[in-house]
Structure 1
């Protein structure tokens, strides 16, 4: 099916594309807390959440009651609208009521990845200065050290067993006696009131805080895919990922049942969960899809319950899509394209697909392509993809300069992705203008790894790039030694491994050259460095075989 003039439309005069303009399902002129408070009462008997770890099932009525208690008990402690709570947690059974309770009270949430090192925590703590940090007990020491590094003294609340007298999340779930009288906090201007701060990697170093409004959460994140009350939904992403937040809100809005676990991804576990709980919808990055396909037992797996498989967060090849579809008896495998700054999806392949595309633009999304000189290009020509949507991110927290680089004066969002539209209106993402490496769905700034490598004795200069493989970029370094240095590949690999978290390790290897290709101003030509590394990498693979 060709979607042009049905699902996607071209304005030849302004050379812009747009998706359909269907009215929003939910009114964005309300807080996400008000929305959740109302939606949780729609089908109180339905199962909202199943913990695969403990088997505990929570109904929508119980979820609403717990969320209200969190809001009331946080208010009694003294927290109020506008305060920031940082949450660092896997998908445990009390995470959702804490998030919903914060939304109901009007607290802003900053969600961080439990896999972060203390340096990463400290950077975000110093950026958003949370009044309270809620984390899992095994992270307390890392969090305390990060707070000291950031020179802040927030209150700490702990998921799970009591630790050294800290407040527990269970303390926020105690009965108040006033649950029936509760009304969520009214937000006067939902489009400009901060609801959640996600993380986005920059090209020059540490993460930036992506600020999403209450209106955006209601408008964009409650209808990411067609979801039904009968669905059982599985997504292993924590709330650090916009996919994790979208799963929580979309599944809740539709009355679906979310399946959660705190365990890290393995292909065998994912298959077992899909089979045991008859999962209807899953959302995962291409690296997870590839791992499932490579799992020896996949041929015996029963995927007959799957209605929808969404894959995004990195390049999804036509081969990966087709290979997974071979195991779907009646389900659909769709490619999704989006980013935190867009506040969800920008394109999806549910109604149309061609090899290598990400489908067509989503509802109420406009797009155009600009060349290197900022000029509009014609159909089929490549350039940077710009997106416009009714609601996108508000700003990078405390970083007006980066915000102005991302959103121009006409409110077009510069994605940093190189793309083109074909004659039928399908969008193809072919490269990145920005120097971001994507591994396992994470965005990695090359300069972060370069800073660590430059501290290794014997290193003169370095350029870090990603080696593209199926579903991932493998971080790799091109290094120039000082004359006489005897530094080895293992020295550099070990230095990065001992300093940085697992996703930033040099899985693509280290390669030595006499000099780096440079611009006239003395900066490494990253594209040429990548070409050199890919040649070295391919030669190394051939020599092994």
Structure 2
């Protein structure tokens, strides 16, 4: 920590300077070295009952906490930029970032008097201070839950109340929601305002003043098995549930996706690569798969708080990123939007696609746009769940072009089984069934929900994904369907149960079912099937407007509303959603 000690003497001046906009560029030449493709199709030992091991061996799990692991080598690149806001140019180098995290931890423990194990809620877009607050909280032994800032106050209140949040960190734009939600939280200790000033009467603490003050606090000794993050996920079905992830879960997954054998030259420390990303840090993919992944490597991460074509292109021009983290809809934007020119993409060497699969045809369109060949740009894809921290499958850095569209191979220290949907029998190659996964990245369980935990993770530690998949003779996996009820809207999970519960608030409604229907841009959108009580009337607009009032935009009923005489159900009363999907296509 020698760099920390050097910085402390003038920390107040440096924090003031760094909390105001400035920008830095980090340009370093690098050469892409070819790598033997044969490594990507190694023989995988198959154990009893068709259990597959990763072809990439094992990782050393270790006992580090997340913040220790992410910043363990920061002194090697202390003066290099870590995180930059692509809109304002506000940027922190690694030395400053690490110092701010330490001071944030002491402020949370000493000034706000948050005790180890208590929960902190983040309502933040992708800004550099996101890393300061989330790692500062974890360094203080606190547990973080984050939410989509565009959630309504009802959605936010449900999550933060369930998790028993004691403090919220946010920006001015979302302060009204934070203040409204805080009224419902028991023993609430204060709101942290990024970019704002103290307001003691309202219990508001400006982040800048918290970091500049010298707070006396003894930070706890942490255990790698401690829960440090509780993101919310609908799992395979039902309402969103808190996913308990430990330091060990998150650190293990970073090590798995940075395995040198699998990710040679894509995960090499100290190269100083510039990474442009849009996927939100308040999603497990954005937080662990992008933010932490790149901070460990000492890369320069550029992001923007809210996507606009103009801001994104500005970042391409100004920062010349070598790597892009995208979701399929963003790759489609790059490939087809007229604002994106081939010269904007000349620096790009690697594209990592998450949240949903992309296709070979979309990659072809992108390559045509930037006038590059498949050998000049690597397209990497993966698969995961919030419950697995998130990555379980990933394409190696070098792999055959015929495998584009695959979710990849098992990451190190991960096992898989594909089992029959009818009787649970193990299945071999090229036969579709439910995908089961096991590894050190699998969650500890659902927060205060033992029943749901047992339904998702069995007694042998297998995570039942609810996804239908098969693997080929080279042990590349392909996701072909979902047994789970979730609707995937632009990579966001939407729980039908959550929308149904809102619609059932209408006294005229007797029954309701919501399913996902295909959409050309979003992948899927929700569609509601409603049964009205006898002699009651409602319009499609009334139902749409209620959902729009209560839930965030991507949960709106863009697929429409259909009125039925009865919802199709099986003998046990379970909604036959596949029948509704067929019916939905006819309207």
Provide the rounded CA distance (Å) in 2 between the counterparts of 1:475 and 1:163: 42
Q: For residue 381 of structure 1, report the CA deviation from its aligned partner.
A: 1.4
Is the 1:437–1:444 contact (alpha carbons within 8 Å) kept by the matching residues of 2?
yes
TM-score relative to the length of structure 1: 0.90
Confirm whether residue 358 of structure 1 aligns to residue 407 of structure 2.
Answer: yes
* Aligned positions of 1:421-440 closer than 5 A: 421-440=471-490
Distance 2:480 2:465 in 1: 13
1:466 aligns with 2:516: yes
Q: Does 1:70 align with 2:120?
A: no
**What does 1:369-380 correspond to in 2, within 5 Å?**
369-372=418-421, 373-380=423-430
Matched, 1:499 2:550: yes
Let me know the Cα RMSD of the aligned residues.
Answer: 2.6
Decide which moves more: 1-10 or 486-495: 1-10
Give yes or no for contact 2:237–2:486 (8 Å, CA) kept in 1.
Answer: no
Aligned counterpart for 1:227 among listed residues 267, 281, 287:
267
1:176 aligns with 2:218: no
CA contact (8 A) 1:112 1:239 kept: no
Of 287, 297, 313, which aligns to 1:254?
A: 297
Is there any run of 5+ residues in structure 1 with no aligned partner, and where? 537-545
Contact 1:37 1:104 in 2 (8 A): no
Is the 8 Å Cα contact of residues 381 and 421 (structure 1) preserved in structure 2? yes
Aligned equivalent of 2:383, options 309, 333, 337: 337
Q: CA deviation at 1:476?
A: 1.0
1:224-267 alpha-carbon deviations (Å, 9 max, x no partner): 353343211122233321122122211111110011222x2234
* C-alpha contact 2:526 2:557 (8 A) present in aligned 1: yes
Deviations 1:294-331 (A, max 9, x none): 42223545211112111121232333333234345322
Aligned residue number for residue 155 of structure 1 = 190
- Residues in 2 aligned to 1:429 and 1:303: alpha-carbon distance in whole angstroms: 29
Contact 2:257-2:411 at 8 Å conserved across structures: no
- TM-superposed CA distance for 1:343, in Å, is 1.2
SS in 2 for 1:131: strand
Runs of 4+ displaced beyond 6 Å: 1-5
Confirm or deny that 1:390 pairs with 2:440: yes
Q: Following the alignment from structure 2 to structure 1, what is the Cα–Cα distance between the partners of residues 348 and 138?
A: 31
After TM superposition, list the pairs within 5 Å mapping 1:69-468 onto structure 2: 69-77=103-111, 78-162=113-197, 164-165=199-200, 166-174=204-212, 176=214, 185-187=220-222, 189-190=223-224, 192-202=225-235, 205-221=238-254, 224=257, 226-228=266-268, 229-246=271-288, 247-262=290-305, 264-300=306-342, 302-328=344-370, 329=372, 330-350=376-396, 351-352=399-400, 353-354=402-403, 356-372=405-421, 373-456=423-506, 458-468=508-518
Query: Is the contact between residue 477 and residue 506 of structure 1 (CA under 8 Å) also seen in structure 2?
Result: yes
Give the whole-Å Cα distance in 2 for the aligned partners of 1:102 and 1:153. Answer: 16
The more displaced of 266-275 and 525-534 is 266-275
The 8 Å contact of residues 165 and 185 in structure 2, kept in 1 or not, is answered as: no
CA 1:163/1:531 → structure 2, altered by over 3 Å: closer, same or farther?
Answer: farther
Paired residues, number: 529
Greater share of strand: 1
Counterpart CA distance in 2 for 1:413 and 1:291 is 34
Q: Hey, what does 1:542 align to over in structure 2?
A: none
**In structure 2, distance between residues paired with 1:444 and 1:288:** 19
Name whichever of 518-527 and 206-215 sits farther off.
Answer: 518-527
Call closer, same or farther: CA 1:9–1:39 in 2, change over 3 Å: same
Change (3 A) 1:72 1:484: closer
How far the C-alpha of 1:37 sits from its partner, in A, is 4.6
Structure 2 spans left out of the alignment, 5+ residues: 1-35, 259-265
Q: Deviations over 1:431-468 (max 9, x none)?
A: 11110001122111101112222333544432211112
The alpha-carbon distance between structure 1 residues 79 and 224, as it changes in their structure 2 partners (threshold 3 A), is same
Matched residues in 2 for 1:356 and 1:40: separation? 36
SS state at 1:74 partner: helix
Counterpart CA distance in 2 for 1:293 and 1:327 is 6
- 8 Å CA contact retained: 2:548, 2:556: yes
How far residue 95 of structure 1 moved from its aligned partner, in angstroms, is: 2.1
Partner SS state of residue 410, structure 1: coil
SS at match of 2:149: coil
TM-score using structure 2 length: 0.84
Alpha-carbon separation, structure 1, partners of 2:64 and 2:37 = 37
TM-fit CA distance, 1:508? 1.3
